[in-house]
Structure 1
Amino acid sequence: MTLTEPDLAATSPARTDWGHLWPHFTRLSSPRVPVITRGEGAYLWDDRGRRVLDGLSGLFVVQAGHGRRELAQVMAEQASQLAYFPVWGYGTRPALELADRLAAAAPGDLDRVFFTTGGGEAIESAWKVAKQYFKLMGKPLKHKVISRAVAYHGTPQGALAITGLPAMKQQFEPLTPGGFRVPNTNFYRATEHADDLEAFGRWAADRIEEAILFEGADTVAAVVLEPVQNSGGCFTPPPGYFARVREICDKHDVLLVSDEVICAFGRHGTTFACEKFGYQPDIITCAKGMSSGYAPIGAMITTNRVVEPFLHGRTTFPHGYTFGGHPVAAAVSLANLDLFDAEGLNQRVLANEQAFGDTLRKLLDLPIVGDVRGDGYFWAVELVKDKATRHTLDADERERLIRGYLPEALFDNGLYCRPDDRGDPVVQVAPPLISGQAEFDEIERILRHTLTEAAELL
């Protein structure tokens, strides 16, 4: 029996405190405790019976939408047959089949799949395999990783060292040594080649080579980049950027890691976003949309080149996770990818991405909106204090809007999305891939109303 919204509100009174729950990335002093009770399609319901458009796919995860009973049924059937067994020296049918499916979908010879339970673990695995790979290849000094300023790559100690957000690291230092930063591709804030996108992209890519040479090419193992950078607000790659990065990595024998924890599985209209942006990585890290969030799963996918030295003698990659390749998670991921094929979700994103961008760009007439940028179903609206000068919000204004007013106001107005200021202040939207023009219009309408009110607080 499915409860109606009034029934849900009556049987589950709204919480007024966190109780024993320690929420992630949240102030425990926060007085508001939203409780989400169910989801269907592109919508969520809370314990007060309110319907809210899920404008962030949970956390860039729920590609196929909420409440897919066919996926739940697959999970139940797999759990009744084999609920758990590790892939430590053994295989399960779902894990083997999913590895085959991912290898077939990945570009080039990205043929070997190492399962994790999330994106941070996949990044951690990629750095560790890069270090061991070069030791096996007789280059033991190659251990450093280069990533971009403001980029987020996860919270484990290694992944956090690759993350380019100083404020996220301060409480946990010293971190794993070896992480170094280069400029990102935020063309809206460009100080070099601000009038030429392609030249700016070449300049940004060349900073990677500059960093490799500065650190010493014999010490650098990997460059880790997202196809579209999340933190800072959906920085897309300029034309020619990734071709130049690939050239630099090949020249200096450095592995190129495509961090597709957010960008894979249809977020940009392809199974892996590196395909859309025209480059061949040595390693892909992925998670989130692989199962549409129906069970936790992630993966590191490597080329034959990377796995080759591990194939001989007594060599082992001494690394793993208890729940990596979990049979229920793998089974539901296979069913989720079947839905992608049956419903043409990648094609849907490619067909609708222009309309989504055009709808969001209507917000550029608001004084508080400086830029709208993104790709596929992954967009950001940057907020400014002065549109003409691009002057950003100060610390007090960010506190008042990004952490104070906007999260609650947007939710109360019917939209769950992401106000964020880990770089410049933005509101990010990334709805489920089943969304269309009706949802785009609803997102724009709620953003317009809420941001108009927010501007009055500056």
Structure 2
Amino acid sequence: MSTSKATDHLWMHFTRMGSYDNAPVPTIERGEGSYIFDTNGRKYLDALSGLFTVQVGHGREELAKAAYEQAKKLAFFPIWSYAHPTAIELADRLAALAPGDLNKVFFSSGGGESVETAWKVAKQYFKLIGKPAKHKVISRAIAYHGTTQGALSITGVPPFKEAFEPLVPGTVRVPNTNFYRAPEFVADDEKAFGLWAANRIEEAILAEGPSSVAAVFLEPVQNAGGCFPPPPGYFERVRQICDEHDVLLISDEVICAYGRLGTMFGCEKFGYQPDIITTAKGLTSGYSPLGCAIISDRIYEPFSKPGVTFAHGYTFGGHPVSCAVALANLDLFEREDLLGNVLRNENAFRTTLEKLYDLPIVGDVRGDGYFYGIELVKDFKTKETFNADESERVLRGYVSGALFENGLYCRADDRGDPVVQVAPPLIAGQDVFDEIEQKLRIVLTEAWNRI
């Protein structure tokens, strides 16, 4: 297949299409384990798991066979007032895996739809229990929650929103947990910073009026901005605040669920109990589209009353083939102990990436599990970041392309401060970590020379 045709009719997502007017489009045609191959046969380390998705690695025949066998039997049927066996079995399995009383599974096609579902559940829940004014959502600065109108409204990345405004009203932003950029008065005490950041959520609830706030949407480790883990005590305080003001705590785990942090769900890694978990990506390891919101018994209870309908759904939510793939994917997790592999190796991954601190361009290495961001700076001591022109010239103009040219597929991102993100498949070990570090070292060394 000619890559020159890629821009004739294909409109790629989040892409400056004009960039390919005089350049070929990178075209990936197959994958194997932790590696992908383009149409010219070149091999690249997939250090982003596709898009934080391919947990079990590429080319797993078990998942392809599960899809094939299910498609032969029942390729499609909706779960609108009907059920089918794979949706039933997968919902049972997820309810057993989810913490606490998270026992109701509402399937979607992907992450943004799961977030959209959770906000709708929260709004209708409060109407059903006699608190119809509670509809607003609080989320964090720079946080990404999806591109549908509701999920985009919750998203805290202004450049993503400007072209589509006005959006859904009723969303409020609070500070994120980027300790590297913490205010000076808490910059030396991570726990104090966490308490300060959590208390900004209560401050926002009180400013909006507790009678109007329905939910707080938080990722266990925030993706956009470069992998911000929660400080000690942060989620404990957030849970307390939500309980005090009758606000739902929604854990957006589209990235952090299904082993990315070494636990089945990210909230388990940090010891908090949400009211709803939103998921997608790693549920099928990307072998078929599927997402879900997992909802607590307490929140579901008023929906179970006679005559009540949750008027919401998706044609492909709970797709039979996708559910079959998800079940086979979870079987692989158990058979190969992928959660254990992450927990056994996460410190080695961090230590390997921290070798990059000897480069003057590397300001911070942060994250958890197999999910890390490396923040790039002009001055290590002062933490001075790039200006807009430098970010465009160095990050977009050089780093992003150079990483790929050196055989490393990952993400160079400037939604917040400039970062490079890496999130290898959960099957990865030290050989993969070393390759990531070595390729990053080559490119970042040259990037520093270009500043």
1:15 pairs with 2:4: yes
Q: Which residue of 2 aligns with 1:319?
A: 312
Contact 1:235 1:373 in 2 (8 A): yes
Counterpart-to-counterpart distance in 1, 2:154 and 2:328: 33
Q: Which residue of 2 aligns with 1:340?
A: 333
- CA shift for structure 1 position 405: 1.2
1:432 pairs with 2:425: yes
Amino acid across the alignment from 1:291: T
Counterpart-to-counterpart distance in 2, 1:293 and 1:422: 24
Q: Which residue of 1 aligns with 2:263?
A: 270
Q: Which residue of 2 aligns with 1:176?
A: 168
2:39 to 32, 47, 57: 47
Instruction: Give the secondary-structure state (helix, strand or coil) at the position aligned to 2:194.
Output: helix
Contact 1:86 1:325 in 2 (8 A): yes
TM-score, normalization by structure 2: 0.98
Counterpart-to-counterpart distance in 1, 2:79 and 2:70: 16
Contact 1:14 1:48 in 2 (8 A): no
Identical aligned pairs, as a percentage? 68
Q: Which residue of 2 aligns with 1:187?
A: 179
Amino acid across the alignment from 1:22: W
Instruction: Give the secondary-structure state (helix, strand or coil) at the position aligned to 1:224.
Output: strand
Q: Which residue of 2 aligns with 1:130?
A: 122
1:27 to 1, 16, 24: 16
Counterpart-to-counterpart distance in 2, 1:408 and 1:293: 24
Q: Which residue of 2 aligns with 1:7?
A: none
RMSD (Å) for aligned C-alpha atoms: 0.8
Q: Which residue of 1 aligns with 2:410?
A: 417
Q: Which residue of 1 aligns with 2:348?
A: 355
Counterpart-to-counterpart distance in 2, 1:296 and 1:411: 26
- CA shift for structure 1 position 408: 1.4
Q: Which residue of 2 aligns with 1:247?
A: 240
Counterpart-to-counterpart distance in 1, 2:239 and 2:79: 33
5 Å-filtered alignment, 1:356-375, equals: 356-375=349-368
1:288 pairs with 2:281: yes
Instruction: Give the secondary-structure state (helix, strand or coil) at the position aligned to 1:245.
Output: helix
Q: Which residue of 2 aligns with 1:104?
A: 96
Gaps of 5+ in 2: none
Counterpart-to-counterpart distance in 1, 2:5 and 2:135: 48
Contact 1:198 1:238 in 2 (8 A): yes
1:80 pairs with 2:78: no
2:440 to 444, 447, 454: 447
Q: Which residue of 1 aligns with 2:148?
A: 156
Counterpart-to-counterpart distance in 2, 1:118 and 1:17: 25
Q: Which residue of 2 aligns with 1:5?
A: none
- CA shift for structure 1 position 143: 0.2
Contact 1:109 1:303 in 2 (8 A): yes
Contact 1:15 1:34 in 2 (8 A): no
Gaps of 5+ in 1: 1-11
Instruction: Give the secondary-structure state (helix, strand or coil) at the position aligned to 2:365.
Output: strand
Counterpart-to-counterpart distance in 1, 2:94 and 2:4: 41
Counterpart-to-counterpart distance in 2, 1:456 and 1:327: 52
Counterpart-to-counterpart distance in 1, 2:41 and 2:5: 16
Amino acid across the alignment from 2:157: L
Instruction: Give the secondary-structure state (helix, strand or coil) at the position aligned to 2:374.
Output: strand
Q: Which residue of 2 aligns with 1:257?
A: 250
- CA shift for structure 1 position 16: 6.6
Counterpart-to-counterpart distance in 1, 2:446 and 2:4: 27
Q: How many residues align?
A: 447
Counterpart-to-counterpart distance in 2, 1:141 and 1:16: 52
Counterpart-to-counterpart distance in 2, 1:269 and 1:195: 28
1:403 pairs with 2:396: yes
